[in-house]
């Protein structure tokens, strides 16, 4: 399968005196066949995350063909650089699924096996500690990492950088299945590289398939946020108390509207996930949205909402209320750029939506009822604060944009 990873190697800030470090992210670009599977993979992932219980011996992993955001992480000394998916819904960091793990004198086996299970199969490997280089000034001497020896389904990337809460690693090791693994964020704080256990995410949406106008594809900031990448102040949203969503970076939406239709009427929990492509809504919520767009229907070929071009001019903003503030996805944010249609397996005459259903899953009282994925995070800067147990959002230059009819 042909694929390529567009990587930017510019380092934005390496000043040892600054308390935060921003590093560029690259969009992982798969070919059409990969893209085509990803809406369904996203739904399978959401279904899996919902089912996870406290004692499950599995953590969610990323699926085949995610068009994701990746960061270059060095492992070993001298480091070998791997393209790792930035994942806020898992906490294990592992490599070996693309570029094989290159062991150096700093690579130490822990005599633990690591098992990462997901909808499409499971990944198994050995857990090591090794030197991990996130940026020249962010070098963790002994970070626990997995060397995954089964590459099924993950051949586009080399592995995952787990930015989710540490408890998600519970049950992934054996024989020590009762221990959790310190994440890269835990270790950055423990070793004094950053003061605050906060990271910030900036994703820039492509306005077209060949868009090279944006200087940055994205940026990941360790230790805080980078206020030059967003406008105004962050709105902080407490992590939800609703299980199972509270195990992740989960938040409560108190209202969601589409034009004058109420899509989500009451307080409902969902996750903020950097590696789900779409914005996903529980089926009953999604039906309200879909039925409000004339002629819209699910397209089995792409797994995406297909919207007649004639309906676009009647489309309305999809507004989420979080912590009493409205975060709006304008019409452009609800549509894939038209020239990406064929890449996603669609036809040129139609438009395809960035909002999708779970399939077979209505909202129930205690649950995980929406996913704010990449298509949301490409419009709002996000910040993940483990100390304050909260997620922040702020507007960017991409929050509102014009759309092509
Ligand atoms: C924040 O991002 C800007 C724009 O990309 C960059 O120039 C700057 O160095 C970053 N700041 C920090 C503290 O990393
Ligand atoms: C992968 O790692 C597991 C756990 O250590 C081991 O049982 C298995 O034999 C390994 N498979 C291969 C192909 O090396
Ligand atoms: C946002 O737009 C303003 C005005 O055009 C510009 O000065 C600023 O650099 C832009 N910010 C980013 C992160 O691109
Ligand atoms: C951001 O917060 C600061 C301090 O709370 C306040 O002074 C400022 O007015 C706020 N800015 C905006 C744009 O809301
Ligand atoms: C909903 O909005 C549409 C226009 O967007 C308007 O025509 C219609 O009257 C509104 N319905 C209600 C119940 O307000
Ligand atoms: C949705 O958000 C947009 C942009 O902030 C705003 O103009 C519109 O009035 C909001 N609609 C509703 C129903 O809240």
Residue bearing the CA closest to ligand 2, atom 8: 125
Q: Are residues 41 and 182 in the same domain?
A: yes
Tell me what pLDDT residue 281 has.
95
Q: Are residues 183 and 306 in the same domain?
A: no
Residues above pLDDT 70, as percent of the chain: 77
Spacing, Cα 263 to ligand 5 middle (Å): 15
Overall number of domains in the chain: 2
Q: Are residues 265 and 130 in the same domain?
A: no
Residue 140: inside a domain = yes
Residue bearing the CA closest to ligand 2, atom 3: 125
Give yes or no for residue 159 having a pLDDT over 60: yes
Give this prediction's pTM: 0.87
Q: Are residues 193 and 235 in the same domain?
A: no
Residue 356: inside a domain = yes
Place 13 in a pLDDT band, splitting at 50, 70 and 90: very low
Residue bearing the CA closest to ligand 5, atom 13: 260
Long-range contacts of 136-140 (CB under 8 A, 24+ apart): 136/11, 136/14, 137/14, 137/15, 137/16, 137/21, 137/193, 138/21, 138/188, 138/193, 138/194, 138/222, 139/193, 140/184, 140/187, 140/188, 140/191, 140/193
| Catalytic machinery residues | 87, 273
Q: Are residues 307 and 164 in the same domain?
A: no
Spacing, Cα 280 to ligand 5 middle (Å): 25
Tell me which ligand sits closest to the C-alpha of residue 14.
1
Atom of ligand 5 nearest to the CA of 260: 1
Atom of ligand 4 nearest to the CA of 233: 1
Q: Read off the CATH number of the domain in which 106 is found.
A: 2.40.70.10
Residue 220: inside a domain = no
Mutate to test the pocket of ligand 1, among 8, 12, 220, 398 (most ligand atoms within 8 A of CB): 12
260 lines ligand 5 (CB under 6 A): yes
Structural domain for 282, as ranges: 231-395
Residue 218: inside a domain = no
Quick one: average pLDDT of 13-34? 59
Q: Are residues 193 and 236 in the same domain?
A: no
Residue 52: inside a domain = yes
Helix (H) or strand (E) holding 289: helix 283-291
pLDDT in tens, 160-200: 899 999 998 988 899 998 999 999 999 999 999 999 999 99
pLDDT in tens, 270-322: 999 998 889 999 999 999 999 999 999 999 888 899 999 999 999 999 999 99
Give yes or no for residue 154 having a pLDDT over 70: no
Residue 25: inside a domain = yes
Choose the final residue of a domain: 181, 199, 217.
199
Choose the final residue of a domain: 199, 218, 244.
199
Spacing, Cα 232 to ligand 4 middle (Å): 7
Q: Are residues 253 and 386 in the same domain?
A: yes
Q: Are residues 134 and 83 in the same domain?
A: yes
| Site of tokens 């096996």 | 113
Q: Which tokens sit at 298?
A: 């699910």
Residue 174: inside a domain = yes
Residue bearing the CA closest to ligand 4, atom 3: 233
- Least confident span in 4-13, 285-294, 379-388: 4-13
Spacing, Cα 204 to ligand 5 middle (Å): 33
Tell me what pLDDT residue 17 has.
37
Q: Are residues 193 and 81 in the same domain?
A: yes
Q: Are residues 146 and 194 in the same domain?
A: yes
Please tell me the distance from the alpha carbon of residue 369 to that of residue 364, in angstroms, as a whole number: 8
Residue bearing the CA closest to ligand 5, atom 14: 260
Tell me which ligand sits closest to the C-alpha of residue 292.
5
Residue 216: inside a domain = no
Q: Are residues 43 and 163 in the same domain?
A: yes
Residues 6+ apart with CB under 8 A from 25: 69, 70, 71, 86, 202, 203, 216, 217, 218, 219, 220
Tell me what pLDDT residue 24 has.
76
Q: Which tokens sit at 120?
A: 């499409």
Tell me which ligand sits closest to the C-alpha of residue 230.
3
Q: Are residues 238 and 183 in the same domain?
A: no
Please tell me the distance from the alpha carbon of residue 61 to that of residue 160, in angstroms, as a whole number: 8
pLDDT, mean over the chain: 82
């Amino acid at each position: 399968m042909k694929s390529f990873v567009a990587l930017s190697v510019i380092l934005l800030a390496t000043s040892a005196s600054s308390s935060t470090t921003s590093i560029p992210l690259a969009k992982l670009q798969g070919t059409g066949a990969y893209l085509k599977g990803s809406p369904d993979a996203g739904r399978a992932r959401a279904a899996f995350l919902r089912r996870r219980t406290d004692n499950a011996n599995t953590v969610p992993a990323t699926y085949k063909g995610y068009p994701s955001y990746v960061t270059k992480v060095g492992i070993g000394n001298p480091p070998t650089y791997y393209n790792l998916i930035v994942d806020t819904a898992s906490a294990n960091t592992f490599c070996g699924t693309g570029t094989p793990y290159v062991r150096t004198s700093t690579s130490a086996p822990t005599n633990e096996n690591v098992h990462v299970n997901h909808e499409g199969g499971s990944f198994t490997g050995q857990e090591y500690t090794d030197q991990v280089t996130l940026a020249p000034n962010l070098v963790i001497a002994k970070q626990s990492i997995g060397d995954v020896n089964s590459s099924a389904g993950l051949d586009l990337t080399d592995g995952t950088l787990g930015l989710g809460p540490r408890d998600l690693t519970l049950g992934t090791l054996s024989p020590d299945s009762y221990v959790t693994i310190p994440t890269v964020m835990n270790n950055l704080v423990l070793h004094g590289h950053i003061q605050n256990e906060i990271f910030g995410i900036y994703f820039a949406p492509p306005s077209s398939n060949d868009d090279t106008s944006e200087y940055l594809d994205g940026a990941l900031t360790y230790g805080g946020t980078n206020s030059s990448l967003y406008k105004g102040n962050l709105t902080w949203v407490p992590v939800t108390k609703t299980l199972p969503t509270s195990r992740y970076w989960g938040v409560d939406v108190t209202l969601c509207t589409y034009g004058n239709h109420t899509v989500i009427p009451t307080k409902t929990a969902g996750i903020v996930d950097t590696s789900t492509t779409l914005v996903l809504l529980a089926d009953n919520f999604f039906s309200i949205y879909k039925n409000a767009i004339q002629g819209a229907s699910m397209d089995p070929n792409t797994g995406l909402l297909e919207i007649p071009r004639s309906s676009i001019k009647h489309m309305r903003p999809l507004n989420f209320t979080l912590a009493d503030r409205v975060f709006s996805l304008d019409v452009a944010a609800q549509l894939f750029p038209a020239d990406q249609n064929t890449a996603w397996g669609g036809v040129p005459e139609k438009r395809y939506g960035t909002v999708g259903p779970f399939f077979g899953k209505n909202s129930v009282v205690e649950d995980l009822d929406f996913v704010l994925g990449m298509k949301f995070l490409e419009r709002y800067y996000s910040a993940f604060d483990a100390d304050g147990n909260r997620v922040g959002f702020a507007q960017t230059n991409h929050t509102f944009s014009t759309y092509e009819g």
